[in-house]
Amino acid sequence: MIVLWIVLGIIVVLGLGLALSYNRFVSQRNLIKNAFANIDTELRRRYDLIPNLVETVKGYAAHEREVFEEVARTRSAAAATSGQSPAAQAAAEGPFVAALGRLFAVAENYPELKANQNFLALQSELSNTEDRIQAARRFYNANVQDYNRRVQSFPSRFVAGSFGFKEEEFFEIPEAERAAVSAAPRVDFSSSGSGGAAPAAPPAPVPPMPPAPDAGTAAPSA
């Protein structure tokens, strides 16, 4: 009788452990899906900013046609991967991010463009969006790392194998592509007003000298 209770106790403990492990896998998988949805939202926000940014740069550097075409092509390719796997989206993001770096390198050659209020506003919004993308990417990758570790570890790997929990993909842009953007010149927001250095004040006008008195004319008496 005692042995039976012991066996039943072991079965109950194993069942509870199995249920807890399964529920944790489900929660982790849902967290990863939500985290990736946040990345996709921020990527779409960036895609929407690019056409206006390109049109603004075109107003000052219309001859840089090759750069504009590359940005448009890589943007379309990256946007087309929305809803696909993280690896597919990350692979398409690499060339697009590199093309953006070249676009800003072109903008650096035009001081009037860097002082354009529309360009400054777009670049500021794009910079904020990039920060949100990186934060969302780090959060997503951290959750994928924890989840994959459980899929690979004992004894949770048996639960994963029994119920079809597989390793998730990381969202990683190739280092070479991210380096291209890091090296691209950035507009300096530290100066006030239009975003460029304030023009120097013109020199004060020099008052005209009074005409010299005629040597043959006597000075008036006091």
How does pLDDT run across 112-163, given as a tens digit for each residue?
998 999 999 998 999 999 999 999 999 999 999 999 999 999 889 999 999 9
Total count of domains within the chain: 1
Residue 192 lies in a domain: no
Please state whether the peptide bond connecting residue 155 to the residue before it is cis, i.e. omega within 30 degrees of 0: yes
Q: Find, among 64, 80, 101, the residue nearest to 56 by Cα.
A: 64
| Distance of alpha carbon 135 from alpha carbon 19, whole angstroms | 32
Place of tokens 């106790």: 9
With contact defined as beta carbons under 8 Å apart, do 40 and 93 qualify? Answer: no
Residue 8 lies in a domain: yes
Residue 23 lies in a domain: yes
pTM of this prediction exceeds 0.85: no
Residue 52 lies in a domain: yes
Which three-class secondary structure state does DSSP give residue 163?
helix
Contacts of 11 (CB under 8 A, 6+ apart): none
How does pLDDT run across 11-41, given as a tens digit for each residue?
888 889 899 999 999 999 999 999 999 999 9
Residue 65 lies in a domain: yes
Give the CATH number for residue 115: 1.20.1440.20
24: left (phi over 0), alpha (psi -120 to 50) or beta: alpha
Residue 79 lies in a domain: yes
